[in-house]
Amino acid sequence: MVVLSQPVLDNFSTIKTCKFPTSSFYCGIPVIDLLNRDAKTRIIKACKEFGFFKLVNHGVPLEFITGLEAEATKFFNLSQMEKEKAGKANPFGYGNKRIGSNGDVGWVEYLLLNTNPDDIHQKAITIPGDAEKFWSLVNDYVSAVRNLACEVLEMIADGLKIEPRYALSRLVRDEKSDTFFRLNHYPPCPELQVLCDRNLIGFGEHTDPQIISVLRSNNTSGLQISLRDGTWVSVPPDQYSFFFNVGDSLQVMTNGRFRSVRHRVVADGVKSRVSMIYLGGPPLTEKIAPLPSLMEQGEESLYKEFTWSEYKKSAYNTRLGDNRLAFFEKSAGQ
């Protein structure tokens, strides 16, 4: 174990213990049973009020979930030298502590992968050990979660009376969809006691710029979301369910009816946390704007039209905690 000195810890962001610390979970997280006939209505309500919900009875085979987690854990348990053989994240590959190129850091290491079927076996990414097994599990998992995300997006379209029904899901299903898959590992940090009443940030607060994100993690706490009033609350972990985040692009396409959720991860002093995130994005050339079939008579767009490529470039030139949509909001009279 590497013993961290206070100067080393000072390089990482910390926060004071919040109102709902990781030891006291928030019980108000919306839980949606996909098999219930009111699931569509509850998803719409959750996206409007929280931008976030937990989905149960999702139908993704458990072996897809546990199999990939086992392979991810095996990778992150390798020596640093072996992990770095995967190639430096630029943007795809292995990253450690540094998040993006603008100075953000966290108590995290990760693999970032492209989900395009033509690119998923990226020669630049070398997975030590049984690489064929790893990529096969990634493909199975991503395919299942993509289908789940599209099912939810079509339920959202039904609930909002968006036409056609596949107006949202087609963007994620498109063969040119700019969708990422991320494996995050937050190692335990036993030295957290030096922080007294503070928590060490594993991944800093941010919103996801894509359309929708589908998260699954092991049974370790750490994920927190921000409520409408700015209060940070801790999400109870559930290794058998999926958590859905509304992304910035979906906020724009619903003209602010849905709000992208600000979220972050805090480190654990004892347990390792492994999370798998599917980040469903549109093709680079896709124009992002409020959907015409959703707009009521006389309703004005809150946002300037932009392509996903333009927004992606702008978003990744900012810091994690910045309000990325601020540059694309219309002022009064525009």
The H or E element that residue 40 is part of is helix 39-49
**What's the CA angle centered on 96, arms 98 and 267, to 5 degrees?**
85
Task: Please state the φ and ψ torsions of residue 180, each to the nearest 5 degrees.
Answer: -115, 160
Strands 52-56 and 31-33: parallel
Q: Is 275 exposed, middle or buried (0-12, 13-18, 19+ CB in 10 A)?
A: buried
Per DSSP, the three-state class of 252 is: helix
Residue 52 and residue 244 in contact, taking contact as beta carbons nearer than 8 Å: yes
Q: Which two tokens stand for residue 266?
A: 């805090």
| Angle at which helices 131-160 and 39-49 cross, to 10° | 90
Residue 291 and residue 253 in contact, taking contact as beta carbons nearer than 8 Å: yes
d(Cα 316, Cα 8) in Å, to the nearest integer? 26
Task: For residue 200, give the nearest of 190, 192, 208 by alpha carbon.
Answer: 192
Sign of the torsion formed by the C-alpha atoms of 34, 40, 43 and 47? positive
Q: Phi/psi class of residue 67: alpha, beta or left (left: φ > 0; alpha: ψ in -120 to 50)?
A: alpha
CA distances from 130 to 20, 44, 61, 133, 267 (A): 41, 42, 22, 5, 30
Q: Give me the residue label for tokens 């946002």.
A: 303
Q: Is 273 tagged catalytic?
A: yes
Task: Please state the φ and ψ torsions of residue 259, each to the nearest 5 degrees.
Answer: -120, 130
Strands 223-226 and 263-266: antiparallel
Task: For residue 32, give the nearest of 241, 219, 328, 178 by alpha carbon.
Answer: 241
Catalytic residue among 259, 262, 273, 324: 273
Residues labelled catalytic: 273
